[in-house]
Structure 1
Amino acid sequence: MREQPPYLHIADVLRQRIADQEWRPGDRLPSRAQLAQECGVGDAVVRRAQETLIAQGVLEGRAGSGTYVAEPRERLRMVRSQYREQTDGSLFRADMAALGKSGTWESRSEAMVPAPPNIAARLDVPEGDYCVRTSYEYLADGKPVLVSTSWEPYSITSGTLAVLPEGGPYAGMGVVRRMAEIGITVSRAVERPEPGNANAEEAVLLGVQRGALVTRIQRTYYSSEGRPVETADIVVPAVSCEIVYEVPIGA
């Protein structure tokens, strides 16, 4: 078995000291040099251990002040279920309302954006085919909880009132209802979650540290004919949200 890297061992030591309430939320940790001396390692090892715990939401760094134990954050429960698609109206707004919060979002759409190779493959269209790309930032009580980038083949909605997800009479209805309005039945969605780290842009939008742990969900909606009609990359910060999949079981 491979030996645990020193920085992960130190991260575990710091995490345990916090669990033992040697330091409480809001407390400032000793200097990096002091911790390095106490633990018998170099400053660089302590720095990397602290960066790991900051990414996990255990610690927070304050410019010019030091490193502190992070205040506990309420984690929102994001349920992924087939029943979500039966909601009349915005799925996100309904999810947040169930948690007693106000769900809103900001968006920006661009029409006729050439599909890059990975998106073309997911939508089963030729590379460079025009798509409608929409960037979203979703907020709960005004605080960011997830970001998403959606792609739809322009050939599907071109010339209809549903061409822009957040414009026209079907604005904000969501993919399933918008497609239904133009005669397309969305019959299934495929989601692929995987862990990752927030890049610089995502960190700014989500209000987390760069490199913070996130869950990336690659979602694609399919019509009843099996054609992909939308694909999206959803980024959810682990420190503030937990994702739960609800799987129906029946005969």
Structure 2
Amino acid sequence: MSWGVLSGRVTCDEEPPGRHPWGFVASGQCALPDQARCPGDPIHAGPRHRLERVPIGQEVRACCQATPTLASLFECEVGERLLARHFVFHDNETPTQMSTSYVRWSDVEGTPVSDPINEPWPGGTRAQMASLGIRVTRITESFTSGMPTEDEAKTLRIGNGVPVLRYTRRHIADNGRIVEVAHPIVRRGDTTVVDFVIDLQA
């Protein structure tokens, strides 16, 4: 089993009721095994932490078509309809993370998952997929770093000289089908720590 820790340099005086163990937005250090919920998922916010559904144009969600990049990540056809959900995570009033999460429109059309009023969803993306009869059994993530774009700097309230950590996360069902892609998840690099622990078989 391998597991990792992604944390910001913040503290939490008490565990918010009902919060999932993955709560790097809401805690100074946290960890979980591979099969647990993944770091980009919306969480139950405690009194110091909140999730903001962010309008892109006039929408907090938008039905869009898969670009070549998204089609490659989903392993689907270019132009497949997707639902994009845009979020900013806060610690107190400080934005700590921004993300855009995509799901297949064919999976969520007409369901509560497609309605942004239901975010943050208890249990995160895995619970969303479970409500649709989809069993997620694998999560993949890839990390890069760089200087912030103008939008990233403005949203995270950082200077143009503060680097950011960007990563892409994919939720994969038990049949190998990719059912969610978060691309990108962006955190400010000067207050984010990523640790990995890998247990090796003897």
Does TM, normalized by the shorter one, top 0.5?
Answer: yes
* Cα deviation 1:29-76 (Å, max 9, x = unaligned): xxxxxxxxxxxxxxxxxxxxxxxxxxxxxxxxxxxxxxxxxxxxx824
Aligned residue for 2:195? 244
CA distance, structure 2, for counterparts of residue 148 and residue 204 of structure 1: 14
State the distance in 2 between where 1:80 and 1:191 align: 15
Give 2:65's aligned residue.
Answer: 114
Q: Once the two structures are superposed, what CA deviation does each residue of 1:9-45 show, in whole Å capped at 9, x if it has no partner?
A: xxxxxxxxxxxxxxxxxxxxxxxxxxxxxxxxxxxxx
Moved over 3 A (4+): 76-81, 90-94, 245-251
Matched, 1:172 2:118: no
TM-score scaled by length of structure 1: 0.59
Higher relative contact order (CA 8 A, sep 6+): 2
When the two structures are aligned, how many residues end up with a matched partner? 169
Match of 1:144 among 80, 88, 95: 95
Deviations along 1:170-194, one digit per CA (max 9) or x if unpaired, are 7523210011111111111000111
Tell me, which stretches of 5 or more residues in structure 1 are unaligned? 1-73
Corresponding residue number in structure 1 for 2:152: 202
CA contact (8 A) 2:35 2:138 kept: no
Give the Cα–Cα distance (whole angstroms) in 1 for the partners of residues 117 and 87 of structure 2: 14
The 5-angstrom pairing of residues 1-251 of structure 1 reads 75-76=9-10, 77=28, 79=30, 81-82=32-33, 85=36, 92-93=43-44, 102-108=48-54, 109-164=60-115, 166-168=116-118, 171-173=120-122, 174-232=124-182, 233-247=184-198
Question: Measured at CA, do residues 125 and 134 of structure 1 come closer, stay the same or move farther in structure 2, by a change above 3 Å?
Answer: same
Name the structure 1 match of 2:25.
none
1 or 2, which has the higher helix percentage?
A: 1
| Aligned counterpart, 1:43 | none
Cα gap change, 1:127 to 1:201, in 2 (>3 Å): same
Cα distance change, pair 80–188 in 1 and its aligned pair in 2 (3 A):
farther
**Compared CA separation, residues 79 and 171, structure 1 to 2 (3 A):** closer
Q: Provide the rounded CA distance (Å) in 1 between the counterparts of 2:29 and 2:79.
A: 34
Task: Return the index of the structure with the highest Cα Rg.
Answer: 1
Larger fraction in strand: 2
- SS for the counterpart of 1:239 is helix
TM-score calculated relative to the size of structure 2: 0.72
- Pairwise CA RMSD of aligned residues? 2.7
Q: Is the 2:140–2:169 contact (alpha carbons within 8 Å) kept by the matching residues of 1?
A: yes
| Aligned 8 A contact 2:90 2:96 in 1 | yes
Q: Percent identity?
A: 23
